C-alpha cells in the first residue's frame, strides 16, 4: 500500500490530459475499434480491458481522418455522440482534434445541463452536468429478457444505475444492477457456460433467483498513465470464445490498478486484486455469544489475493508482443506483491524458504498479436504457463507441461464489406489453474479466473460477424469442445509420467449459435440469441438443448 501512495503523490503535479473512466468491457465500441485496427486505421492496445473512455475517444477522433465506408462513417458519428462527453474540460489543454477539415469538431461545450434531453453532442441524457472542472452523467439501467427452451425457461427483469464523471484530476464511476429471474432450471445457469457467474442471493423458492452486480472505481490520470482503485473485471489477452489468462467468467473483484506508457512503443500494467477463496477459516471463525441468534457465529473466510503485471511492446506497426506474470497468494496481505516492478516468483520462493507448502501459485503468460500485417487480418496467440519443467519439456516421463494455448485469426471485409470471418483453437492441459493449496487456486468464488471450461479440454471455433446496416450486429458461431476430468492433486504433483491430455475423457460438446444485436439509440439495445447445444457423454445417451433469448436493455 505504501508503494501505491508514493506513486500517487509523485504524480500529483503532472499535467492531466484525460481522466480514466473505464468503459464496460462488453461495450460494442470495442468490436468497432478492433475491426478498425484490423484494417490498419488505428493502433489499438486492447490486450487489457477495460480501457478508458478518453482513450476510446482518441481512437474515434483519429478515424475522422480515415477513408471509411458509409456504414463505418455513420457508426463513427454514433459513437462520437457517446464518447465526446469524455473530453478534457480544463482551460489550456491541448486540442484533441486531429482532423484538418474540422479542427474544432471535438471542442467541449463550456457549461451545460441536460435533464431528459440531448446534450450538446446529440446524446440523450437522463442527467448530464458539465462545466470547466466537473462532469456528472447518470443513466438508469432497465432490462427485460425472455428465455424459452431447455434446460431452463425463465424471465429476467433488471434495473439499476450507471453513474460516472470527472472532478478535477479524478475520474469516478458507480455501476449497480439488480437481477430478478423467475422460471425453471435456474440452478443450472451458473454451470459450464461463458457467461459471468453470479453470487446467488438467498431465496427459498427454486423458481425464483436474485443476484446483483456492482462495479465502482476512482482514478487519477496524468499525461501517459493512470492509477485507480475500484471493483471490476480485468481481462487480459485475446479469445473469441474464452480468455485463458484473465476472463470475465468469475465475478468482479476489488483491485488497485496502475497503467503507464512511458514510450509510444511500450506500456506497463500492474494490478493487485482482493479475491474470495470461499473457504472457511475455522481458526478465525468465532462464537458471538448472541443467544443462538442466526447460528451464534461470526464466519470468516481465508483471505486470498492476486498480483499481476505485464509489459507490451510494439516493435513494428501492427505487431504487439506482451509478457506477464501473476501470483495468487493467501492468508495475509504481503507488501512485496504491492510493488509493481517486483519479480513475483523469486520473491515468493525467498519468503517461503523454498518450501512448496509455504509458497504461492505463480503463472506466466505471453501474447502475440499481428494486425493488418496481411491486409485486413488479425492473427493472435496466447500462452498461459501454470507449471513447466524446462529441463524436461520434451521428456514424456518427466515433463510437467501444465499450460494452455489459444491461437486464432480473423479477416474482415471478406467477400462482403463489413463481413468478418474468424477461426480459433484453444487447448488447456490437465491441472492448469489448480494448486496444492485450495485457497490459492486460480479462481474467484470457485469460478475460474481463466477459461470458463477449466482445464483438460480443447475447443475449435468458427465464427462470422456481419453488419449490414449501421449498429446492427449479426453473428454466427460453431464450436466443438472435448472435455475430460480435472484429475486429483496426487496425480498433479506426484504422478510420473503425468497423465496425458484428455485422460479421464468425459464428453464431446457442439454449440451452434446465432446472435443479433441492434443499438437503436445510444445505450438502448434490442437483442436475440438462438443456441443449440449437443452433449455426448462417455457411455451415455447424447442430449440436445435449444434455447431462444429475446430482450431489450437500456444500459449494458
- Cβ atoms 147, 186 nearer than 8 A: no
Rounded to 10 degrees, the C-alpha dihedral 535/537/539/544 comes to -20
Residues in the chain, how many?
Answer: 556
- Cβ atoms 455, 431 nearer than 8 A: yes
pLDDT of the residue at 101? 40
- DSSP track, 302-319: EEEEEEEEEEEEEEETTE
The H or E element containing residue 174 is: strand 170-184
pLDDT of the residue at 88? 56
The CA–CA distances, whole Å, from 102 to 61, 92, 264 equal: 11, 19, 26
pLDDT of the residue at 196? 95
Cα–Cα distance measured from residue 47 to residue 50, given in angstroms and rounded to the nearest whole number: 9
Cα–Cα distance measured from residue 405 to residue 460, given in angstroms and rounded to the nearest whole number: 12
Strand residues in 331-376 grouped as ranges (E): 361-371
Place of cell 485486413: 376
pLDDT in tens, 334-387: 999 999 999 999 999 999 999 999 999 999 999 999 999 999 999 999 999 999
pLDDT of the residue at 496? 87
How many CB atoms within 10 Å of residue 207? Answer: 12
Cα–Cα distance measured from residue 22 to residue 165, given in angstroms and rounded to the nearest whole number: 11
DSSP annotation of 295: G
pLDDT of the residue at 292? 79
DSSP annotation of 201: P
Which residues contact residue 343 at a Cβ distance below 8 angstroms, ignoring those fewer than 6 apart?
A: 325
pLDDT in tens, 430-489: 999 999 999 999 999 999 999 999 999 999 999 999 999 999 999 999 999 999 999 999
Which segments in the chain show pLDDT lower than 70? 1-18, 88-110, 391
pLDDT of the residue at 18? 62
pLDDT of the residue at 458? 97
Q: What is the 3-state secondary structure (H, E, C) of 5-49?
A: HHHHHHCCCCCCCCCCCECCCCCCHHHHHHHHHHCCCCCCCCCEE
Which region, left, alpha or beta, applies to residue 413 given φ > 0 means left and ψ of -120 to 50 means alpha?
left
> Helix or strand or coil: residue 364?
strand
pLDDT of the residue at 89? 47
Amino acid at each position: 500500500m505504501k508503494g501505491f501512495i508514493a506513486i500517487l503523490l509523485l504524480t500529483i503535479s503532472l499535467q492531466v490530459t484525460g481522466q480514466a473512466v473505464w468503459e464496460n468491457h462488453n461495450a460494442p465500441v470495442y468490436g468497432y475499434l478492433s475491426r478498425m485496427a484490423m484494417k490498419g486505421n488505428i493502433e489499438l492496445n486492447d490486450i487489457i480491458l477495460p480501457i478508458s473512455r478518453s482513450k476510446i475517444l482518441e481512437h474515434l477522433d483519429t478515424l475522422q481522418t480515415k477513408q471509411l465506408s458509409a456504414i463505418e462513417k455513420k457508426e463513427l458519428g454514433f459513437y462520437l455522440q457517446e464518447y465526446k462527453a469524455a473530453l478534457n474540460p480544463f482551460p489550456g489543454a491541448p486540442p484533441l482534434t486531429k482532423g484538418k477539415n474540422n479542427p474544432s469538431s471535438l471542442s467541449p461545450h463550456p457549461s451545460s445541463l441536460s435533464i431528459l434531453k440531448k446534450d450538446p453532442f446529440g446524446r440523450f441524457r437522463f442527467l448530464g452536468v458539465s462545466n470547466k472542472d466537473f462532469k456528472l452523467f447518470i443513466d438508469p439501467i432497465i432490462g427485460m429478457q425472455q428465455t424459452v427452451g431447455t434446460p431452463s425457461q425463465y424471465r429476467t427483469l433488471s434495473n439499476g444505475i450507471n453513474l460516472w464523471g470527472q472532478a478535477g484530476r479524478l475520474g469516478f464511476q458507480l455501476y449497480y444492477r439488480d437481477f430478478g429471474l423467475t422460471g425453471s432450471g435456474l440452478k443450472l445457469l451458473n454451470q459450464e457456460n461463458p457467461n459471468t457467474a453470479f453470487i446467488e442471493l438467498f431465496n427459498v423458492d427454486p423458481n425464483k433467483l436474485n443476484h446483483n452486480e456492482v462495479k465502482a472505481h476512482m482514478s487519477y490520470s496524468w499525461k501517459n498513465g493512470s492509477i485507480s482503485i475500484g471493483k471490476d473485471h480485468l481481462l487480459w489477452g485475446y479469445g473469441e470464445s474464452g480468455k485463458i489468462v484473465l476472463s470475465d467468467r468469475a465475478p468482479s473483484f476489488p483491485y488497485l490498478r496502475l497503467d503507464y506508457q512511458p514510450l509510444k512503443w511500450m506500456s506497463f500494467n500492474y494490478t493487485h486484486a482482493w479475491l474470495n477463496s470461499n473457504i472457511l477459516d475455522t481458526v478465525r471463525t468465532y462464537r458471538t455469544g448472541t443467544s443462538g441468534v442466526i447460528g451464534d457465529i461470526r464466519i470468516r473466510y481465508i483471505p486470498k489475493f492476486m498480483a499481476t503485471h505485464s509489459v507490451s511492446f510494439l516493435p513494428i506497426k501492427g505487431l504487439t508482443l506482451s509478457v506477464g506474470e501473476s501470483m495468487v497468494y493467501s492468508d495475509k496481505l504481503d507488501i512485496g506483491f504491492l510493488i509493481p516492478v517486483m519479480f513475483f516468483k523469486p520473491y515468493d520462493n525467498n519468503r517461503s524458504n523454498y518450501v512448496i507448502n509455504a509458497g504461492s501459485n505463480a503463472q506466466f503468460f505471453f501474447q502475440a498479436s499481428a494486425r493488418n500485417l496481411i491486409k485486413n487480418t488479425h492473427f493472435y496467440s496466447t500462452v498461459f504457463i501454470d507449471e513447466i519443467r524446462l529441463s524436461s519439456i520434451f521428456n514424456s516421463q518427466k515433463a510437467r507441461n501444465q499450460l494452455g494455448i489459444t491461437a486464432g485469426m480473423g479477416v474482415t471485409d471478406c467477400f462482403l464489406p463489413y463481413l468478418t470471418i474468424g477461426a480459433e483453437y484453444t487447448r488447456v492441459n490437465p491441472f492448469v489453474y489448480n494448486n496444492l493449496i485450495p485457497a490459492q487456486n486460480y479462481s474467484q468464488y470457485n469460478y475460474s479466473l481463466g477459461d470458463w471450461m477449466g482445464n483438460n479440454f480443447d475447443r475449435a471455433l468458427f465464427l462470422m460477424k456481419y453488419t449490414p446496416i449501421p449498429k446492427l450486429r449479426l453473428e454466427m458461431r460453431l464450436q466443438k469442445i472435448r472435455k475430460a476430468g480435472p484429475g486429483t492433486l496426487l496425480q498433479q504433483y506426484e504422478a510420473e509420467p503425468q497423465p496425458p491430455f484428455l485422460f479421464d475423457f468425459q464428453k464431446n460438446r457442439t454449440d451452434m449459435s446465432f446472435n443479433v444485436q441492434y443499438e437503436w439509440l445510444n445505450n438502448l439495445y434490442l437483442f436475440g440469441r438462438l443456441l443449440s447445444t449437443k452433449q455426448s457423454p462417455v457411455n451415455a445417451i447424447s442430449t440436445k438443448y435449444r434455447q431462444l433469448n429475446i430482450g431489450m436493455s437500456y444500459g449494458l
